[in-house]
Amino acid sequence: MLKKLAISSLLIAGLTAASAAPVLAASCKKTTAQGWGVTKELAKWQAQGTLLFATGNWVVQNDKFSKPVYDCSVSLLGWSCKASAKICKK
């Protein structure tokens, strides 16, 4: 009887953990923002700031961010950078 109860408990715990995994994965998403600046570093800084502002993390960072990946290009007017990061809700 105890053996059946233990196996049932482990099975239920396993199903609960398996059903929670998609919920955790769904709380993460990739977000992109663009910034402009006279220098490349300024454009990156502005893109990262726009990313934080657009996700509601400007003043206090409530979510977990991956390291941003930048795609930058230069034009006659300065630098334009696009920042992409994976953001997970805490």
Q: How far apart are CA 66 and CA 80, in angstroms?
A: 21
pTM summary value: 0.65
**CB–CB of 87/31 below 8 Å?**
yes
What gap in Å lies between CA 5 and CA 90, rounded to an integer?
34
Model pLDDT for residues 11-64, shown as the tens digit of each residue = 343 433 343 444 445 589 999 999 999 999 999 999 999 998 988 888 888 899
Give the C-alpha separation, 69 to 57, whole Å.
18
What is the identity of the amino acid at 24? L
Tokens of 47: 């893109």
Integer Rg of the chain from CA: 21
CATH architecture of 28-88: Roll (3.10)
Domain edges within the chain: 28-88
CA atoms within 13 A on the CB side of 21: 6
At 63-79, the pLDDT tens digits run 998 999 999 999 889 99
Which element (helix H / strand E) includes 8? helix 2-26
